[in-house]
Amino acid sequence: MKKRVTVKGVQHMICASIVLGALCLPSVWAQTVSDLNVTVSPAQQDSGKRMVFAFQDVPVRALLQVLGETAGVNIVADDSVTGTITLNLKDATWQEALDVIVRAKNLRLEPSGGTMFVRGSNVFMGSDVYGATGYSSNGNGYQRDSGARPRFEQQVLIEARIVEAEDSFSRSLGVKLGFNDRSRMGTTYVPDPANAGKFIQVPTRTDSGVMFGGNTDSLQSLSGQNSATGIGQVPSVANTMINFPAAVSASGADPAAFAMTLFNAGLTRFINLELTALETDGKGKMISNPRVVTGNNIKAVIEQGTEIPYKETSTLGATNTSFRKANLKLEVTPKIAPNSEVLLDVDVTKDSVGTYTADGFTINTKHVQTQVNIDNGGTLVIGGIYQEDSRKAVDKVPFLGDIPLLGNLFKTTTRATSKTELLIFLTPHILDSRGNILPANTQKLSINE
Q: Which residues pair with 137 in a beta bridge?
A: 142
Would you write out the chain's pLDDT as a tens digit for each of its 449 residues?
433 434 444 454 454 444 333 333 333 233 333 333 333 444 444 556 788 888 888 898 888 888 888 778 888 888 888 888 888 888 888 888 888 888 888 887 777 777 888 887 654 444 333 333 334 444 444 444 444 444 456 889 999 888 888 877 776 776 555 444 333 344 444 455 566 555 554 444 433 333 333 333 333 333 333 333 333 333 333 333 333 333 333 444 444 445 666 677 777 777 788 888 888 888 888 888 888 899 888 899 988 888 888 777 777 778 888 888 888 888 999 988 877 788 888 888 888 888 887 777 888 888 878 888 888 888 888 877 777 777 788 888 888 888 888 888 888 888 877 788 888 888 999 988 778 888 875 443 333 33
d(CA 215, CA 93): 56
Contact call for residues 81 and 101 (beta carbons, < 8 A): no
Q: Which domains does the chain have, with CATH numbers?
A: 7-144 (3.55.50.30), 156-431 (no CATH)
d(CA 266, CA 272): 11
Tell me if the pTM is above 0.85: no
